[in-house]
Amino acid sequence: MAPVHPATACVADPDLPSVATLLGEAVPGPVAAVAEATGGVVTDCHPVTVTWWPGASITVRYSVAVEGGELAGCHDLVAAGGRIPDGALIVEADGTPVGVWRVPFDPALPGLAPALDDTHAARLLADLGSPAAKVTTRLRGYRPGRRAVVSVRGEREGIYVKVLRPERIQRLHQRHELLAAVLPVPASLGCSSELGLMALRALPGRTLRDVLEDPAGQLPAPEEVAALVADLPPPPDDQPMASIIERVPAFADLLRRVVPSEAAAVDRFVEELGEEDDEDLVPVHGDFYEAQILTEGGRVVGFLDVDTFGLGRRGDDPGVMLGHLALWETMSTRPARVRAYTQELLEIWDRLHDPRDIRRRAAAALFTLASGPFRVQAPDWPGETAARIALARSWLERARAR
């Protein structure tokens, strides 16, 4: 039985009792109850991802091994407390309702199971003009209750299927259609509002992150990367998104709870960062970083994940990219190469933006990434979290020095 990290087992939320239920035991009661109800017993269980918004919701994805019964074998199970999607199996744990489902049968994402079904995926390829005798599907990304990405490959070509809550798929379809006309964004091949599915043809190339790790890889000119977000068209709607600075307080609340030893550092960061001071709104990608860019032969050939395209602050896209690259440098096998490329981008953006502002936003981006080790339950997530908070503070100090 994989042990729960001691620091994970200690977190608590008085306003959300399901936090202690889902994180405080090696086998959470709701997970054990589901296995027992189907005639089995859990022999191994550990959290894979944890999404917790204090006082509001917690969603935990577990890797579970079950012996006996209908669920015999290895599965991913998800348990949610607070905000529970309609259709989840409700299990009472210490008087607290918890919603449970087995991946891919996510009640908020009705298209996920069909997208991973070989027969349905083959029919989807055929409808797009690429019939295949053999089709393979793979879950490439999954945020329980929110979104997923599935790769579908035939003998000749493949597609990616985006899975969202059904009410959100038309909005994403509109964004792809708009941006594909002016940028190397994969065009939508069609969508299903009923299932919340959208098909995108697979693009060539490797991510900028992968090329940074390859000393023989040809990097695109930093000017080409910066140009991707220099002049975006107006989004289809005028609903502004929260800026990277406006997102900081929610992450600060989470960080104070998961690493209480860093509470003073968190408070100091929030105070010194200050509030959003840019009232002008411009079109932004909203999640601009090195893994969203595909390159081939030293040129940008793909620009991914435009779900967040909308109105935001001018410095957010540069700041988010710089923050991600600064963090990736600490994990890279080629840190000097990443650092040099980051510096080239920084020099470009220093000429186009307020240098203090983009460093401040890079600091905010790093701060929002500090909870990542807790989310994926890294072996030393408390230490990694503290290091990320310190890195965010170093960029804030660079901003203050300008």
Q: How many CA atoms lie within 13 A of 4 on its CB side?
A: 21
Co-location of 79 and 157 in the same domain: no
Two tokens, residue 381: 């997530």
Location of structure tokens 């049968």: 105
Predicted confidence pLDDT, tens digits, the chain (402 residues): 556 889 999 999 999 999 999 998 789 999 999 999 999 999 999 999 999 999 999 999 999 999 999 999 999 999 999 999 999 999 987 788 999 999 999 999 999 999 999 888 888 777 776 666 788 999 999 999 999 999 998 777 788 999 999 999 999 999 999 999 999 999 888 888 999 999 998 899 999 999 999 999 999 999 999 999 999 999 988 889 999 999 999 999 999 999 999 999 999 999 999 999 999 999 999 999 999 999 999 999 999 999 999 999 999 999 999 999 999 999 999 999 999 999 999 999 999 999 999 999 999 999 999 999 999 999 999 999 999 999 999 999 999 998
Co-location of 247 and 384 in the same domain: yes
* Domain end call among 149, 172, 201: 201
Co-location of 220 and 187 in the same domain: no
Co-location of 240 and 213 in the same domain: yes
Residue 276 lies in a domain: yes
Residue 357 lies in a domain: yes
Co-location of 236 and 300 in the same domain: yes
Q: pTM for the complete prediction?
A: 0.95
- CATH number of the domain bearing residue 177: 3.30.200.20
Residue 152 lies in a domain: yes
Residue 347 lies in a domain: yes
Co-location of 320 and 212 in the same domain: yes
* Domain end call among 102, 127, 155: 102
Q: What is the tally of structural domains in the chain?
A: 3
- CATH number of the domain bearing residue 334: 3.90.1200.10
Co-location of 279 and 368 in the same domain: yes
Co-location of 217 and 350 in the same domain: yes
Co-location of 191 and 223 in the same domain: no
Residue 107 lies in a domain: no
Residue numbers of the domain that contains 20: 6-102
Location of structure tokens 């080790």: 373
User: How many of the other CB atoms lie within 10 Å of CB of 295?
Assistant: 25
* Domain end call among 55, 70, 102: 102
Residue 1 lies in a domain: no
Burial of 246 from C-beta contacts in 10 A (0-12 / 13-18 / 19+): middle
Asked if 300 and 226 touch (Cβ cutoff 8 Å), the reply is no
Co-location of 318 and 363 in the same domain: yes
Residue 52 lies in a domain: yes
Co-location of 179 and 210 in the same domain: no
Rg (CA), the chain: 22
Co-location of 183 and 221 in the same domain: no
Phi/psi of residue 319, each to 5°? -65, -40
Residue 307 lies in a domain: yes
